[in-house]
């Protein structure tokens, strides 16, 4: 069987029918991106992903990366793909054309990423990290730094990373011990060690630019004293030419469960006392700068999760249509009943619809967040910009945390549908599941995303941002009530939104009381129910859009729209009631997790 990627019809549905993305072309910033151009870009990304990138996925996973004498060799197949990414200008799809970007809407860039990351997640990480590092330089760098780094990073001639994590600090970035000592020429000597650095050392590009978090000598403790620096693998002259090798050494690479084709490195900085970096942005403001990259990275991780879940779902549907095993349940009592494709079996259909419902909602939610960012860029209203930014802030932990939780579930179903073959590495489902698992961990574990939602986002702007999201949900509910067949679904979503509001008030109050520890013990369940309601919202919105198109639809489109409505019905009728039970559980806020003695867990 041929392995598959994202459903192009659903990608088009979200872009053109649900969001009407081409309407952005009425604004100067996106004037080139009419529907025809959007479709051409998606077709190019899909063709590149299917024909060139996908064939490198399994070989890259099998080969992995190898460290020899401080240098890392990545899978040989990846180098040609990197050249194709450079030639097609895929590294900086949504960035400023003045610096070598394509200037496309973020929503369109996300759609391209779904194909390219779904085809080879480990390989596309090099693109995303380079883009994120360059974006930091563009936002916080001096004119000199921009001239030195940006074009070569956005073009893919150089790559980029993100150096946060340290052996003794982990997710507690404020505990870092990497130091920065000022030099007379305005540069800094950097000394320290970083771990879990994706793309930290490789032989694919002639230079690697490392944004590094470090503490300037004498700076305050904790996150308040952290600054951000650019530390290149090879030092860069003012004219952009390469100088001598900097004192950045790869001391090891991790042997991981998945993403084998992406080198996850341990880096030693300044072991010989000669690691030179430049301050990026203001002193002691490194965390503020880095959070820009982190927020971008968290949305990208959500897209990563969706991309592999989408591929797993597409493969599972194809396999279920082709795999013949067992009689249809309705004919099994007949004499010698014929075997049928497993897609006819009820449990397989339930799993496939569960996968579809999750993948479709992921796509709509993530593209919607990208669309909010695009609307900020074209809006003339400060009030609208602030409202849209608040919606993005609320939905970001959902996009990273909840989406990747569900993506892993989808990949698990994708393996299950293959049966024993799913557990065999000869087939794609095992690798997709292994690769997907990291999305729940890096760029802030999903537990941290849940804490962010409860501790920071819930009370943001005195709760206005949350209320703005719920107001958007109510608009969809009102539109659905105008369609008779969708009115019962609208009622169910309205009940869930009301219950979520009650839970949010309870969690907010508990988090500000003496029971704060109990509240945060339920932060992840709270993120889960918030994500459930967000997915239900997306499904109802999709169903409204499909229903409005149904009357004039052609035969093949009618079947697609029926599928949209069926997925909405399934999620709201079968999954949302489970969420209501979770909400009741959260309202109890059991103190058992905090009351149990530590030595009662084991031994």
Average pLDDT over residues 34-53: 97
**Dist. CA 45–CA 357, nearest whole Å:** 24
Is the C-alpha dihedral spanning 227, 233, 238, 243 positive or negative? Answer: positive
Tokens of 109: 């860039």
Angle, CA of 470, 476 and 480, to the nearest 5°: 140
Q: How confident is the model at residue 603 (pLDDT cuts 50, 70, 90)?
A: low
Q: What is the pLDDT of residue 170?
A: 62
Among 399, 379, 401, 397, which Cα is nearest to 388's?
379
Q: Which residue has the higher pLDDT, 151 or 222?
A: 151
Residues contacting 392, CB < 8 A, separation 6+: 369, 372, 373
Among 569, 488, 564, 496, which Cα is nearest to 531's?
496
List residues bridging with 268 in a β-sheet.
193, 249
Residue by residue, DSSP assigns 422-437 as GGSTTSSHHHHHHHHH
Q: Is 185 helix (H, G, I), strand (E, B) or coil?
A: coil
Query: Does residue 69 register a pLDDT over 90?
Result: no
Residue by residue, DSSP assigns 203-262 as SSSS-EEEEEEEEETTPPSGGGGEEEEEEESEEE-TTS-EEEEPSEEEEEE---SS-TTS
Range 385-392, long-range pairs (CB < 8 A, 24+ positions):
387/468, 390/460, 390/461, 390/464, 390/465, 390/468, 391/465, 391/468, 391/469, 391/472
Q: What is the pLDDT of residue 471?
A: 97
Residue by residue, DSSP assigns 299-328 as HHHHHHHHHHHHHHHHHHHHHHHH-EEEE-
| Residues 458-515 pLDDT 10s | 999 999 999 999 999 999 999 999 999 999 999 999 999 999 999 999 999 999 999 9
Q: What is the pLDDT of residue 147?
A: 93
Q: How confident is the model at residue 599 (pLDDT cuts 50, 70, 90)?
A: confident
3-state SS record for 41-72: HHHHHHHHHHHHHHHHHHHHHHHCCEEECCEE
Instruction: Quote the CATH superfamily of domain 8-154.
Output: Acyl-CoA dehydrogenase/oxidase, N-terminal domain (1.10.540.10)
Burial, 244: exposed, middle or buried (Cβ in 10 Å; 0-12, 13-18, 19+)? exposed
| Residues 239-258 pLDDT 10s | 888 999 999 999 999 999 99
Q: How confident is the model at residue 223 (pLDDT cuts 50, 70, 90)?
A: confident
Q: What is the pLDDT of residue 171?
A: 63
Query: Does residue 435 register a pLDDT over 90?
Result: yes
Domains in the chain: boundaries: 8-154, 159-285, 458-595
**Rounded (10°) CA dihedral 523, 524, 530, 533:** -150
| Residues 305-353 pLDDT 10s | 999 999 999 999 999 999 999 999 988 888 889 999 999 999 999 999 9
Average pLDDT over residues 399-413: 98
Element (H, E) at 193: strand 188-198
Distances (CA, A) of 245 to 49, 211, 291: 35, 17, 29
Q: What is the pLDDT of residue 493?
A: 98
Residues contacting 381, CB < 8 A, separation 6+: none
Query: Among residues of the chain, what percentage have pLDDT more than 90?
Result: 87
Query: Does residue 270 register a pLDDT over 90?
Result: yes
Distances (CA, A) of 267 to 159, 212, 260, 489: 16, 11, 18, 53
Q: Does 159-285 carry CATH code 1.10.3470.10?
A: no
Mean per-residue pLDDT of the chain:
94
Distances (CA, A) of 211 to 180, 365, 536: 13, 30, 39
Q: What is the pLDDT of residue 296?
A: 83
**Rounded (10°) CA dihedral 544, 545, 551, 553:** -150
Average pLDDT over residues 369-375: 97
**Dist. CA 367–CA 356, nearest whole Å:** 16
Among 497, 561, 538, 304, which Cα is nearest to 410's?
304
For residue 153, the number of C-alpha atoms closer than 13 Å in the C-beta half-sphere is 31
Sequence-ordered alpha helix ranges (H) in 422-522: 429-437, 446-452, 464-481, 487-511, 516-521
Average pLDDT over residues 294-303: 90
Q: What is the pLDDT of residue 529?
A: 98
**Dist. CA 33–CA 575, nearest whole Å:** 37
Query: Does residue 536 register a pLDDT over 70?
Result: yes
Q: Are 460 and 394 in contact (CB under 8 A)?
A: yes
- What is the C-alpha end-to-end distance of the chain, expressed in Å? 49
Query: What DSSP state is assigned to residue 402?
Result: I
- The total of other beta-carbon atoms located within 10 Å of residue 37's CB is 15
Query: Among residues of the chain, what percentage have pLDDT more than 70?
Result: 99
Report CA 134 to chain centroid distance, whole Å.
18
Tokens of 332: 């099994």
Q: What is the pLDDT of residue 174?
A: 66
Q: Do domains 8-154 and 159-285 have the same CATH topology?
A: no
Q: Is 159 helix (H, G, I), strand (E, B) or coil?
A: strand
- Active site (catalytic) residues: 443
């Amino acid at each position: 069987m041929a392995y598959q990627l994202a459903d192009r019809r659903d990608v088009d549905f979200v872009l053109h029918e649900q969001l009407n993305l081409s309407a952005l072309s009425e604004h100067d910033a996106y004037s080139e991106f009419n529907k025809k151009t959007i479709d051409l870009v998606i077709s190019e990304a899909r063709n590149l992903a299917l024909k060139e990138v996908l064939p490198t996925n399994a070989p890259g996973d099998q080969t992995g990366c190898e460290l020899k004498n401080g240098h890392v060799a990545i899978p040989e197949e990846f180098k040609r793909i990197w050249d194709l990414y450079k030639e097609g200008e895929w590294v900086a799809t949504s960035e400023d054309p003045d610096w070598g970007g394509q200037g496309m809407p973020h929503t369109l860039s996300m759609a391209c990423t779904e194909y390219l990351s779904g085809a080879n997640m480990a390989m596309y990480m090099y693109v995303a990290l380079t883009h994120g590092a360059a974006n930091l330089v563009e936002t916080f760098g001096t004119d000199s730094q921009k001239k030195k780094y940006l074009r070569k990073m956005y073009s893919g001639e150089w790559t980029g990373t993100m150096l946060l994590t340290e052996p003794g600090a982990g997710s507690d970035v404020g505990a870092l011990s990497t130091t920065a000592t000022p030099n007379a020429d305005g540069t800094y000597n950097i000394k320290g060690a970083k771990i879990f650095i994706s793309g930290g050392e490789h032989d694919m590009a002639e230079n690697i630019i490392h944004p590094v978090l470090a503490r300037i000598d004498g700076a305050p403790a904790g996150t308040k004293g952290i600054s951000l620096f650019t530390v290149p693998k090879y030092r860069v002259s003012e004219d952009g030419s390469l100088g001598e090798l900097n004192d950045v050494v790869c001391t090891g690479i991790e042997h991981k469960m998945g993403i084998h084709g992406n080198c996850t490195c341990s880096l030693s900085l300044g072991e010989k006392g000669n690691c030179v970096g430049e301050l990026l942005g203001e002193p002691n403001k490194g965390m503020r700068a880095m959070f820009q990259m982190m927020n971008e990275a968290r949305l990208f991780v959500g897209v990563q999760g969706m991309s592999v879940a989408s591929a797993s779902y597409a493969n599972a549907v194809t396999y279920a249509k082709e795999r013949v095993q067992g009689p249809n349940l309705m004919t099994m009592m007949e004499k010698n009943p014929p075997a049928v494709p497993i897609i006819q079996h009820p449990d397989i259909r339930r799993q496939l619809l569960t996968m579809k419902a999750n993948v479709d909602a992921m796509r709509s939610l993530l593209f919607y967040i990208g669309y909010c960012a695009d609307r900020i860029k074209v809006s003339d209203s400060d009030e609208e910009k602030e409202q849209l930014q608040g919606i993005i802030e609320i939905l970001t932990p959902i996009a990273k945390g909840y989406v990747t939780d569900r993506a892993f579930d989808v990949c698990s179903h994708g393996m299950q549908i293959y049966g024993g073959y799913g557990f065999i590495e000869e087939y794609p489902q095992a690798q997709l599941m292994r690769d997907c698992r990291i999305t729940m961990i890096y760029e802030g574990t999903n537990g941290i995303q849940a804490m962010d939602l409860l501790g920071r986002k819930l009370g943001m702007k005195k709760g206005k941002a949350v209320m703005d999201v719920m107001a958007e949900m109510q608009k969809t509910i009102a539109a659905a009530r105008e369609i008779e067949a969708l009115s019962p679904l609208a009622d169910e979503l309205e009940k869930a939104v009301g219950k979520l509001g009650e839970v949010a008030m309870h969690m907010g109050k508990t988090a500000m009381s003496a029971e704060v520890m109990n509240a945060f013990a339920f932060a992840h369940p709270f993120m889960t129910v918030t994500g459930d309601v967000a997915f239900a919202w997306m499904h109802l919105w999709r169903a409204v859009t499909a229903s409005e198109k149904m009357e004039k639809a052609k035969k093949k489109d009618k079947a697609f729209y029926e599928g949209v409505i069926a997925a909405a019905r399934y999620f709201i009728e079968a999954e949302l009631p489970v969420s209501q039970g979770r909400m009741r559980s959260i309202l109890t806020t059991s103190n058992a997790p905090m009351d149990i003695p530590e030595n009662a867990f084991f031994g």
